[in-house]
Structure formats: C-alpha cells, structure tokens
A and B are shown apart, each in its own frame.
Chain A
Amino acid sequence: MAETTEAVATHEQAGALTPEHEMSHEEAANDRVMFGFWVYLMTDLLMFSVLFAVYAVLHANTVGGPGGGQLFSLKQALIETLILLTSSFTCGLGMIAARKGDKTQVLAWFGVTFLLGLAFLGLEVKEFAEFVHEGHTLSSNAFLSSFFSLVGTHGLHITSGLLWMGVILAFVIKRGLNKHMVRKLALLSLFWHFLDIVWIFIFTIVYLMAFTA
C-alpha cells in the first residue's frame, strides 16, 4: 500500500502522466518547454540526416584526391570521442547537482564540461587546419565538401552549446541557481547529450567506415 502511494507521488513529481490541467501553472509551462525542446532536437536531427545522406552519396567522389582512409587519423578521432563522452558524463553529474540545488558543484561539473567541450573543439579545429594546410579544402572535391559540412556543422553546434553554457553559468553566478536556471541547464544537457549521439554516428560513419573499404 505504502509502495503504491509512493509510486503515485513520484509520478506526480515527474509530471509524466499528470494531465496538464492538474499541474500548477509553472509545472505546466516547464512540461511544455521540455516537450517543445524535444521536438526542436528532432528537427535538428533531420538536418543532420540530410548531411549524413549527402555524405553517404558523395563520400567516394574524391576525384583523384585522397579518401577518408588516407586522410583521417583514427587515433585523434578516438580521443575526440572519448573527450566528448566524458563531457556528457560530467554534464550528467552537473545536472544531478542542479536538481539538488548545489551551486558550487553545478559550477564545477559544468565548468569541467565546458573545458572538455573546448578541448574537443580545439582538436577538431586542429584537424581541419591540417587538412587545409595540406591543400585539402572544402572546395577540393565533393567528398571533402560533404566531410567539412557534416563535421563542421556538428562543430558549430558544439560551439553554440559552449556559448549557451557559458552564458547560463554566468547567470548562475550572478542570479544564483533558481528554478529558471535549473530548467535552462536541463535543456542544455539534453542538447549536449544529443550532440554526443550525433557524434557517435559521425565517428562510426565518417571515421570508422573510412577504414573498412
């Protein structure tokens, strides 16, 4: 008996199965924003799906230039992947701290996430710069056009995620960890995990599969 009441209480806390009109005005607004952000993430995913499809069609069109197998460094891609995965983990820890309302821990964990994101971005920029330096630019051939666009779009998302994270953290320092900030951090962490998932596909389809053929 006690167990069922507890289960019901948890449900109500999560707001998952509670009809909208039984929530408070604020809970309902939170619930809507979360849902809307999920829909937005799906639209973003569809944009990536176009870029993936384009890469799938064009990746062999190197027109005599080097293919992915010759260009990519699997070691660097693996390091990037590990950095991003770790940043997702620290982002998760930051969210747990945010739910507890522990401001110091939030700043610490998201700070670590920010630095890891920055490191990932630095590695990616380094990779791009090397390619360009060797004369493999985005206008060299269709393969490189699609490679730079797909990976670059992901990098641009990471950049905007970092910008967003920086602004939120600045506001957390200034205004304190209020419920608006927790909600923003929750959205940001969704975005960050989403980018992680997209990266797993990039790592597999762009980097790993370049070495299979």
Chain B
Amino acid sequence: MKEFFLGRLTSQSLPHEWFTIGGSAFFGLAALFFIVLLTVTKRWKWLWKEWLTSVDPKRIGIMYFIVAGFMLIARGGLEALMMWLQQAIGSSNMPGFLGASHGYLSSQHFQEIFTAHGNIMVFFVAMGFIFGLINYIVPLQIGARDLASPFLNTLGFWLYVAGVVMVNMFFFFGGEYAATGWLAVAPLNGIQFSPGVGMDYLIWSLQISGIGTTLGAINFIMTILKMRSPGMGLWKMPAFTWGSLCSMIMAVTIFPLLTATLFLVFFDRYFGTHFFTTTLGGNAMMYTNLIWMWGHPEVYVLVLPAYGVFTEIVATFSRKPIASYTTSIIGMIGVSLFALSVWLHHFFTMGAGADVNAFFGLMTMIIAVPTTVLVFTWIATMHKGRIRYTSPMHWFLGFMIIFALGGITGVMLGVPPADFQFHNSLFLVAHFHSNVIGGVLFGVFAGITYWFPKMAGFRLNERFGKYAFWCWMVGFSLSFIPMYILGLMGATRRLDTYDAATGWQPFYICMLIGGCVIALGVAFQIIQIIASVMEKKRLHDYTGDPWDGRTLEWSVSSPAPAYNFTTIPHVTTRDAFWEMKKQGIAKPQYEDIHMPKNTASGIYISIFAFFAGFGFVWHITWMAIAGVAGAIVCAIIRTFDENTEYTIPAAEVEKMEKARLQKEHEEYGDKPANTGPEYDMTLREFIITVVTWAWSVVRRKQRQA
C-alpha cells in the first residue's frame, strides 16, 4: 500500500547530507522569503495577473532572464567554483577535509557536480538567456504586435521552469544527481550502472524542458516567417532575427532527436528494454551517436542568436550598416547547415574507420569557414566606422578574441589523428568553454546591456559594465589558458584528484583564482543593475533610441508598450528605422489592435508535466498517469477555448498612448544635460550612497527605540 502511494520514496530519501540539507534549506528559505514579501506587500494578485499568466513575449522574456540568471549564480556558477576549489586542493599529497580522501568532495559528489554543472549551464542558463532575448527582441525587430501562438510560448516557458524545478528536486528528495557527465553516455546511464534516482532526474528535467524548447521554437518559426511587417522580405530582416530564425529551425530539427533518445533511455531504465545496454543485443555507441546528433547542433542553436546580437551591436556602434549583409546571413545559414553533419567529431575514438573519421574531420574544418566569414564581416564593419567603445562593444571585442581562440582550437580538435590525443582532455574542456563563455554568454551580456533601455526604460551604468567585462576577460584568461596547457600536459577532464608528482597543482590554483575573478565580475554585474536602478531617473531613455539604432525595436518608446507598435511600420529597406530617421517618421495612425488574452493553461499543463516526471522518477505509477492525463485534459480545454483574444478600439489606443506619454513626461520631465556615461555613478559613489543609506536606516531605528 505504501509503495502504491509513495513508490520508492522513503524517509531515507529526505535530505541528510550537508549539501542536500544546505541546498534544501537555501531553496526553502528563498521561497519563504518571497512568500512573506509578496504577502506583506499584497502583490500576489499583481504577480499572477501581470506576470505569471502573461502572454506578452516581453514579460516572458524578462522572466526567462530572471530564472536563467538565478540558475547561473545559484547553481551553475557555484558548482564551477566548487569544482575548481576541489581541484586546487585535491592534490594527492594534501589531506582531505569533510571526510573526503582528497580535497573536500567525495568522488561521487564531484561527479554529480560536474554533471549538474553541464546540464544546468546548457539547458537552464544558456537556453534560458537565448530564449529570453528572442522573446523580447524578435517581435519588436520584425514589427509584430505579438507572437503567432502566444499560448505555445507561455507553455514553452513554463515547461522550462518545470525542468528547472526538476533539476533542483534532488536536494529535497533522493539526495543524489546523476554522476554520469552531462550527456550521460551509455551504458553508464543504464539501470545497472546508475541504479539511483539521480539519472532519472536528469532524464526528466531535460525531457520536460526539451519539449518546451521544441514548442517554443515552432512558435518563433511561425512568428518570423509569417508575421513580419509589410515590406520586410527575408533579405531585409535584421541580423538578430536571422540568427534567431536559423537557431530556431535548428532547434526544431534536433530537439525531437533528444526527446526520442531520452525516451529510449527511459524505456531501458523503466521497462527493461535493450536499446543501449551491454546485454541482449543493445548498442551503447548508438546512444553516443544519437545524443551527439542533438548535442553538437545544440551549441550552434545557442551561438547563432549571439552572432546576431554581435552583428547588430557592431553595426550600431560603428555607425555603419553591416559590411556585406548578404554574406553574413549566408554565413549564418551555412553554419546551421554544416552543424548537422559534424557530430561524430566528438568520438573519433569510437573507431568508425578512416573514411568516416575523415568525412567528419573535413566537415568540422569546413564549418569554420562560414564562421570566419562572419568574423571578417564584423571586422570589415568596424573598418572606417566611427566606433563608440560602449560596454556592449567591449563584450563584442572580448568575444572576438576568445571566440577566435575557441575556433582555432576547435579546428585542431577536428583533426582525427590529433584528436586521439586531445580526446577527453582538459584541452577539449577549455575549447568548448571558450566558445560557450566567449560566444554565448558574452553575446547574452552584450545583448542584455544593449537592449536594457528597451526592456527597463533606462540604460545600464556603463562604468560597472566595463569593470564587469574586464573581470570576466581577465578571469577567463586566468582560468582557461592554464586549462589548455594542462590538457596538453595530459590532464584528463573530470579529475577530482591527481598525483602530486605531475606538478599540475599550480595550474589548478591559477584556475581557481580565475574563477574568483569571474565571480567578482558577476558581483559587478549585480552592482551595475542596483546602481542603475538607483540612478533610474538620470539614465532614463527619453527617446526610445539611446544608441542611435538602426532597426525597428528602437522606433518605439522605452519600455515598449504592451502592443509594441501603435502603427505597424511599412518597411522598404534594411535597417528600416535608420531609413525612417533619415526620411522623417510618419505620424501615428491609430487602428484597432487585436491582443491575446492572458492564460494560465501553460502553468497548469507544466505542473501536471512536472508531476508526471516526478512520478516516473520515483516509480509512483498513479502520479505519473494522473500527470499525463491532467496535462492532456488541460491542453484539450485550452484548444477548445475560442475566446482567446480581445480588441482595443483605435480611439482607446490613442487615449492610452497619450496618457502614457503624459505620465512619462510628468514623471521624468525634459531630458537633463547629465545623461552621458561620464556622469555614471562610480564605485566610490556607490559605496558612499549605500553606506549612508544603511546608516540612516540604523539611525532611524535607534531614534524610534
């Protein structure tokens, strides 16, 4: 009976180790804090109506940023530091702490950490940030008021959140995550070698969020291909929209492969099938092939929108159109096509034979060509441009250097005979971190800084942005250059301890120092946001076009109104807004606006999906069945709801628009003179302001007492 209700859950599954107690206490207290905060400020209704059930892609974009940023700091980043600390003190001649034989983490725990670090950084940080950017910016860039299917979009977001919750559930129930490495290769992912629930958590958090990604990607393909404003042909689309389109087309191509593969692993573990087992005819290498058919293109899904971001930024801050728009777009399309035929370079050592390895080696080198074309168009755009060295431009220049490093080492890894030496070494780890940090993360930071005025209504403090950039740049070099060297010295990846005689320890210590410098960079980014909020009024974006931008998102006020455009713009050229500014912007003509209604269906479906996954993890059959059935019923109810839109009449739009502008004028007045970056708050001023404020609070409390 007990087993029927609770499956394999027992009192043993509750937290009892220091990290599970710590983790569950952290998440529990954070939840409690927000519950109290929301109750005291009476914001529950506001949160539900304005944010959680919103179908506005701008709101959903911001929610993506919040969740992804939280996962970056609370999980992925912290785990990186934990691993570096372990490696720095994990030399064989040093005593262990906390019951570990070397360092302070047991081997098992170390393995769980690097697995979780990989899963979280790829699925819940990088994907979250990329989807956030696409949500916010793409509809504005193509001159659309909303998305093709706002419902699919919220559903995708909430499935992503369900995945995030699932990946953190092991703190509360089970106490272990998969110890398999982020792609969990077979047969290690089988029930025989990973009998615990950790592997099931991995499967279901990736499965649920992966389905969300597929749905979200379908929606954006529909939106970009079907909802561009009149006159915007494909070859007039802004570069970021192109990057997003390529990325989303790749996502719908590869995520179904991930879904199918994860289902097969699940069958192996749950029903005892023999797809990837070592016995009864299973084929473990088939798993490696299938998962990398998804896994390799996935990094291009992440980096293509980042290419788009950089293309926009370099054009805006060089005050020039992109040098050879057509070439750079063909470059992006080329990358996305070639990306589908390079997966085997992850395992040249499989022994597929010289001809197969040669093909994939050549394809790997060929894919560097369109990427290099893009790099040259960026350089050519800067050539003879009037460059402004703003913080987005800093991120761009840093990206060029790190990404070139990652790209060149990628070509080195693509040579099959050499790869037999590099395979699974730290050289490889340093290579892909160059690409995902230098490419994806820097792209996201550049994009957020660049579009922040559009999202929040005020720009970010430039000074702290540059401090953060330099910390990231220096920290990255301190961490990953030693990692390259260690890899060439023969250090393999995923080591929690090593022989002291290897002489590797100074390099590992250098990596830890680099990690701390990066953490300082993150601290500066947090300070940057706080300082900018403090100076919100001075940094306010009065024109909606703070950077002298070229594309349509800058033609609307900041932050963008819910319906984006009062008048749908008619586009005749590339860089449509630049052209409009030259020719004079037409007076708005008000018209009826159709808007989607808010819906909570996405939340309900995701809750049911989460419980279905949780039921499968713990073998609680009734919960799994109820979860699947509930999700289906919710979806049916939603699809038969014919009343999903409302219309704002033209007169109402005009009234709202005028009231909004009036309110903004009352609040901010005319543009003050001191808006330039040279007036931005310095670190000294920030510290003084914060200390003075804290002191005044203490004084007030004392006086009251």
Name A's B-contacting residues (CB within 8 A). 19-21, 25, 28, 31-33, 35-36, 39-40, 42-44, 46-47, 50-51, 53-54, 57-58, 61-63, 138-143, 145-146, 148-149, 163, 167, 171, 180, 184
B47-77 interface bits toward A, Cβ cutoff 8 Å, 1 = contact, 0 = none? 0000000000000000000000000000000
Contacts of B219 in A (CB 8 A): 36
Contacts of A142 in B (CB 8 A): 274-275, 277, 280-283
B286 and A57 within 8 A (CB): yes
Partner-contacting stretch, out of B178-186, B260-268, B387-395, B556-564: B260-268
B149 and A32 within 8 A (CB): yes
Contacts of B228 in A (CB 8 A): 20
Contacts of B218 in A (CB 8 A): 36, 39-40, 43
A20 and B252 within 8 A (CB): no
Contacts of B252 in A (CB 8 A): 39, 42-43
B140-162 interface bits toward A, Cβ cutoff 8 Å, 1 = contact, 0 = none? 00000000110010000000000
A20 and B227 within 8 A (CB): yes
A140 and B280 within 8 A (CB): yes
Contacts of B282 in A (CB 8 A): 58, 61, 142, 145
Determine the residue in chain A with the shortest Cβ distance to B642: A180
Contacts of A139 in B (CB 8 A): 271-274
Contacts of B267 in A (CB 8 A): 138, 145, 149
Q: Classify chain B's interface size.
A: 35 or more
A36 and B148 within 8 A (CB): yes
Q: A50-B264, A62-B281, A149-B267 are in contact. List 15 more A-B contacts (CB 8 A).
A: A20-B228, A36-B221, A39-B218, A43-B255, A47-B259, A50-B290, A58-B281, A58-B286, A63-B280, A143-B281, A145-B267, A145-B274, A149-B264, A149-B273, A184-B639
With A32-B222, A35-B222, A50-B290 known as contacts, the answer to whether A145 contacts B640 (CB < 8 A) is: no
A58 and B275 within 8 A (CB): yes
B256 and A44 within 8 A (CB): yes
**8 residue pairs A–B, Cβ–Cβ below 8 Å:** A32-B227, A36-B148, A36-B152, A47-B257, A141-B280, A142-B274, A146-B275, A149-B264
In the complex, B663 has a CB within 8 A of chain A: no
B226 and A20 within 8 A (CB): yes
Name the contact of A61 in the complex, choosing from B149, B152, B281 (C-beta under 8 A). Answer: B281
B253 and A138 within 8 A (CB): no
Contacts of B280 in A (CB 8 A): 61, 63, 140-142
A141 and B274 within 8 A (CB): yes
B230 and A21 within 8 A (CB): yes
A43 and B274 within 8 A (CB): no
B281 and A43 within 8 A (CB): no
Roughly how many angstroms separate A96 CA and B226 CA in the complex, as a whole number? 27
Interchain nearest-CB distance for A132 vs B (Å): 12
In the complex, B636 has a CB within 8 A of chain A: yes
Determine the residue in chain A with the shortest Cβ distance to B255: A43
Determine the residue in chain B with the shortest Cβ distance to A152: B267
Roughly how many angstroms separate A51 CA and B264 CA in the complex, as a whole number? 9
Name the contact of A47 in the complex, choosing from B256, B286, B642 (C-beta under 8 A). Answer: B256
Contacts of A138 in B (CB 8 A): 267, 271-273
Interchain nearest-CB distance for B247 vs A (Å): 15
Determine the residue in chain A with the shortest Cβ distance to B285: A57
B227 and A50 within 8 A (CB): no
Name the contact of B260 in the complex, choosing from A35, A42, A51, A63 (C-beta under 8 A). Answer: A51
In the complex, B107 has a CB within 8 A of chain A: no
Name the contact of B256 in the complex, choosing from A35, A50, A184 (C-beta under 8 A). Answer: A50
A-B contact count (CB 8 A): 110
Roughly how many angstroms separate A79 CA and B553 CA in the complex, as a whole number? 58
Contacts of B264 in A (CB 8 A): 50, 54, 149
Contacts of A47 in B (CB 8 A): 256-257, 259-260
Top 3 closest A-B pairs, CB basis?
A61-B281, A142-B281, A145-B273
Contacts of A28 in B (CB 8 A): 226
Interchain nearest-CB distance for A55 vs B (Å): 10
Interchain nearest-CB distance for A24 vs B (Å): 11
Name the contact of A32 in the complex, choosing from B226, B255, B281 (C-beta under 8 A). Answer: B226
B622-652 interface bits toward A, Cβ cutoff 8 Å, 1 = contact, 0 = none? 0000000000100010011010000000000
With A20-B226, A32-B149, A36-B148 known as contacts, the answer to whether A50 contacts B260 (CB < 8 A) is: yes
A145 and B639 within 8 A (CB): no
Interchain nearest-CB distance for A27 vs B (Å): 12
Contacts of A163 in B (CB 8 A): 632
Roughly how many angstroms separate A149 CA and B272 CA in the complex, as a whole number? 12
B252, B257, B640, most chain A CB atoms within 10 A: B640
With A47-B256, A54-B286, A140-B280 known as contacts, the answer to whether A31 contacts B214 (CB < 8 A) is: no
Roughly how many angstroms separate A40 CA and B152 CA in the complex, as a whole number? 12
In the complex, B225 has a CB within 8 A of chain A: yes
In the complex, B594 has a CB within 8 A of chain A: yes
Interchain nearest-CB distance for A62 vs B (Å): 7
Contacts of B226 in A (CB 8 A): 20, 28, 31-32, 35
A19 and B230 within 8 A (CB): yes
Interchain nearest-CB distance for A71 vs B (Å): 15
A46 and B257 within 8 A (CB): yes
Roughly how many angstroms separate A43 CA and B222 CA in the complex, as a whole number? 14
Roughly how many angstroms separate A43 CA and B250 CA in the complex, as a whole number? 11
Contacts of B257 in A (CB 8 A): 46-47, 50
Determine the residue in chain A with the shortest Cβ distance to B251: A43
Roughly how many angstroms separate A27 CA and B267 CA in the complex, as a whole number? 43
Roughly how many angstroms separate A46 CA and B290 CA in the complex, as a whole number? 12
A25, A148, A149, most chain B CB atoms within 10 A: A149
Roughly how many angstroms separate A51 CA and B282 CA in the complex, as a whole number? 14
With A142-B280, A146-B275, A167-B636 known as contacts, the answer to whether A36 contacts B149 (CB < 8 A) is: yes
Contacts of B221 in A (CB 8 A): 36, 39
Roughly how many angstroms separate A39 CA and B219 CA in the complex, as a whole number? 9
In the complex, B229 has a CB within 8 A of chain A: yes
B276-316 interface bits toward A, Cβ cutoff 8 Å, 1 = contact, 0 = none? 01001111001000100000000000000000000000000
In the complex, B437 has a CB within 8 A of chain A: no
Roughly how many angstroms separate A177 CA and B505 CA in the complex, as a whole number? 74
Contacts of B456 in A (CB 8 A): none
Roughly how many angstroms separate A42 CA and B255 CA in the complex, as a whole number? 12
B148 and A32 within 8 A (CB): yes
Contacts of A42 in B (CB 8 A): 252
